[in-house]
Structure 1
């Protein structure tokens, strides 16, 4: 297996490592340094986006690590100003150039009511057909809109990247992922640190001799969901990766799920759309 012994999800023939390294807010040398270090630690899934303004540095970090291209998974995203056919294809070409290689996965970063979804999905499929990405997907799409997008897409939309952590329930999205034979990817899986002080999480962490962050990432992975934590600390990146030597019980997973309060760390959903109730 190209990704070693890490757990993966397999969607439509694409194997995606469940623990990725996110790069939001990492700029310049920090982005280059942390991507290179993440790959040296053992991460085999790197996530970036056009709007992060770090694709070139992410590409340099990958080059620094010297990992064979087939041995890591690379995701980037189309920004909301580039959802027309021509703009999407132009950004896809430029993103691949900045990254230094074709991404494995190209996502639509946020939904917008204009242009029409049919035009954007057709362009996303065209990007795949042109070899500008191996697979396509979504980010921050509520379940009904996810269904509409898949109905319009010739190719499988292999993931929907959404905010997810123990403080936020996404049951409707989980059900839709199962119905569509797709996957979910959790951004901000630690709720920007807010989950780390929850007594239930702290108690479970103490039982396993792990940190609350490690327990939270394990909680997400055991649900079959991909997690992409971000950090500018090499020590924290190593800590976040050290989650494959223990397993939570069903009861512990359920106890952590009771923490859901609807808390969101970031919500840029266009007013034309609504999140699922749960």
Structure 2
């Protein structure tokens, strides 16, 4: 049985927790409290981004938590307007300053855009080579972006963080990433609450004495997906983490995957043309 602090091993040997806290659209005292609550409950992975506008509060909560830095895994991302070689290096320094950290565990390119991501990736490779980042990766990259990156880079992304939930399981992309040892990580793993009334999920939840959200998150874990559900509600943060005391059957995992309808709730990466 898995535990809250269990981790996957990335393609460079770095350990990344399977489970963490997302902080999208959480700011100020709200996000500071959420991070503090999560760390108290045993979360050890926190995901943020420059564009979220909350790196400073996330960093303050990490510093105040008393949790040893080497037991934490902190992810942040370079935003679209900062892409490019020199601008990415400057953006990274800004993120480090706001977070109060000298080393970031995982630094991601937030969106691919058209071509700037190649220069951005060169900057990430430099930061990795200098030991400023323990692992580098991408977010919202499709197969053709990864193929283009491969032509001009010397480091395979450690992680690809993408929209992924039972209505959008991204099987082809997941298979590609597995083949190339790129860990898939899901944002919006709960489809922003839109699956709560699904009869299949309700039935499975009732059988296990769990909530629909817990079943979905458990499905993610058993599908070898790193998950970072976002919440600022203490009871929800606790509920989301209570998924390590039960296991879905292979048939249940398959049935949940069968809900796939190719249904995005976020932006299609190919439509962002910066």
TM-score grouping bracket, smaller chain normalisation: over 0.9
Q: Which residue does 2:171 correspond to in 1?
A: 171
Q: Deviations over 1:127-186 (max 9, x none)?
A: 222333111000000012123223433223111000011011201111111111121000
Q: Which residue does 2:7 correspond to in 1?
A: 8
Q: Which residue does 2:106 correspond to in 1?
A: 105
Q: Deviations over 1:56-115 (max 9, x none)?
A: 000011112111000110000000111111100000111011111121000000011143
Q: Which residue does 1:194 correspond to in 2?
A: 194
Q: Which residue does 1:94 correspond to in 2?
A: 94
Q: Which residue does 2:185 correspond to in 1?
A: 185
Task: Say which is worse superposed, 6-15 or 135-144, in terms of deviation.
Answer: 6-15
Q: How far has the Cα of 1:196 moved from its partner?
A: 1.7
SS of structure 2 residue aligned to 1:127: helix
Question: Would you say how many aligned residue pairs link Structure 1 and Structure 2?
Answer: 270
SS of structure 2 residue aligned to 1:144: helix
2:46 is the alignment partner of 1:52: no
Q: Which residue does 2:154 correspond to in 1?
A: 154
Superposed CA RMSD in Å reads 1.6
SS of structure 2 residue aligned to 1:111: coil
Partners of 2:47 and 2:158 in 1: how far apart? 15
Task: Say which is worse superposed, 257-266 or 100-109, in terms of deviation.
Answer: 257-266
SS of structure 2 residue aligned to 1:36: helix
Q: Deviations over 1:7-48 (max 9, x none)?
A: 321112011111110000110011111111101111111000
Task: Write the mapping of 1:1-278 to structure 2, written as runs, cut at 5 A.
Answer: 6-11=5-10, 12-101=12-101, 102-115=103-116, 117-267=117-267, 269-271=269-271
Partners of 1:80 and 1:25 in 2: how far apart? 17
Unaligned runs of 5+ in 2: none
SS of structure 2 residue aligned to 1:168: coil
Unaligned runs of 5+ in 1: 274-278
Query: Residues 75 and 106 of structure 1 are in contact (CA less than 8 Å); yes or no, is this contact kept in structure 2?
Result: yes
SS of structure 2 residue aligned to 1:33: helix
Q: Which residue does 1:276 correspond to in 2?
A: none
Partners of 2:115 and 2:147 in 1: how far apart? 18
| TM-score normalized by the length of structure 2 | 0.94
